Amino acid sequence: MGGKFIVIEGLDGSGKGTQTAMLEQSLKERGIKTHLTCEPTQYATGGLIRDALAGLSSRTPHEMAGLFLADRIAHCENPKDGIKALLSRGITVICDRYYFSTLAYQGAEIGYDWLMAANLSCPAILKPDICIFLDVPTSEADRRIALGRSSREIFENAETIEKVRKKYLEALGLLEKTHNIALINAARRPEEVAEDVLAAVLPLYGES
Ligand code: TYD
């Protein structure tokens, strides 16, 4: 049996990192083989993106959208440790951000019609078995970013965060019929959120 492809999404400051790690631990305890990954990736395309996010290079929003698309294709297709290769070895892939992030972040800047078409119709880009959206109010995301960072990336300001949250919810609404999406209130204690995340994921393995 192939592995499951689990995507965790949310605003910067929504607790994705913590929840991703907690989910991996819970699945491991159940004897499920897992691999954690994220976007932007560690591949060359991911490096170009991170430089732009940090403000080290300047890229237009369309160029960024194209880079995220290319990075996602590399992420799916890399023969050694790409998502497809891992799934075919029976490994569950937990991915911190995927095309829902493109729809929300780039969608907030340049609209997402073409991005939705490009990401959903590209034969190289896999559809996840589940997308977990960790929802926090904008003010909470902003507060957590302020607590955790000395410097902010280009998308980490209150005005952008608000726009991005709106786009996330709008895009997830549009994808509801074709995707398995779990919207989870992440403005709670990490243990409570983790419990809901696990409950959303276990049915993929025939458990509840
Ligand atoms: P990073 O600091 O690497 O991750 P995180 O904040 O999740 O710990 O930043 C990733 C940034 O890239 C984040 O601000 C969202 C943005 N992003 C996009 O704009 N589009 C995308 O398609 C993806 C995957 C990320």
Q: CA 180 from chain center: how many Å?
A: 14
Q: Is 160 in the pocket of ligand 1 (CB under 6 A)?
A: no
Centroid of ligand 1 to alpha carbon of 39 (angstroms): 7
Centroid of ligand 1 to alpha carbon of 1 (angstroms): 31
Residue 36 near residue 44 (C-beta atoms within 8 A): no
Give the alpha-carbon dihedral of 157, 163, 167, 169, to 10 degrees.
90
CATH number of the domain at 5-205, out of 2.60.40.420, 2.40.400.10, 3.40.50.300, 3.30.70.20? 3.40.50.300
Centroid of ligand 1 to alpha carbon of 174 (angstroms): 21
Centroid of ligand 1 to alpha carbon of 31 (angstroms): 30
pLDDT at 48: 98
Residues in the chain, pLDDT under 50: none
pLDDT at 139: 87
Q: What is the 3-state secondary structure (H, E, C) of the chain?
A: CCCCEEEEEECCCCCHHHHHHHHHHHHHHCCCCEEEEECCCCCHHHHHHHHHHCCCCCCCHHHHHHHHHHHHHHHHHCCCCCHHHHHHCCCEEEEECCHHHHHHHHHHHHCCHHHHHHHHHCCCCCCCCEEEEEECCHHHHHHHHHHHCCCCCCCCCHHHHHHHHHHHHHHHHHHCCCCCEEEEECCCCHHHHHHHHHHHHHHHHCCC
pLDDT at 150: 62
Q: To test ligand 1's pocket by mutation, which of 8, 45, 97 has the most ligand atoms within 8 angstroms of CB?
A: 97
Q: Break the chain into its structural domains and give their ranges.
A: 5-205
Express as a percent the part of the chain with pLDDT over 70.
98
Residue 133 near residue 100 (C-beta atoms within 8 A): yes
Q: To test ligand 1's pocket by mutation, which of 101, 114, 142, 145 has the most ligand atoms within 8 angstroms of CB?
A: 101
pLDDT tens track for 23-54: 999 999 999 999 999 999 999 999 999 999 99
pLDDT tens track for 10-25: 998 899 999 999 999 9
pLDDT at 124: 98
| Distance (Å, whole) CA 198 – CA 208 | 9
Q: Is 39 in the pocket of ligand 1 (CB under 6 A)?
A: yes
Q: Is 12 in the pocket of ligand 1 (CB under 6 A)?
A: yes
- Nearest-CA residue for atom 20 of ligand 1: 102
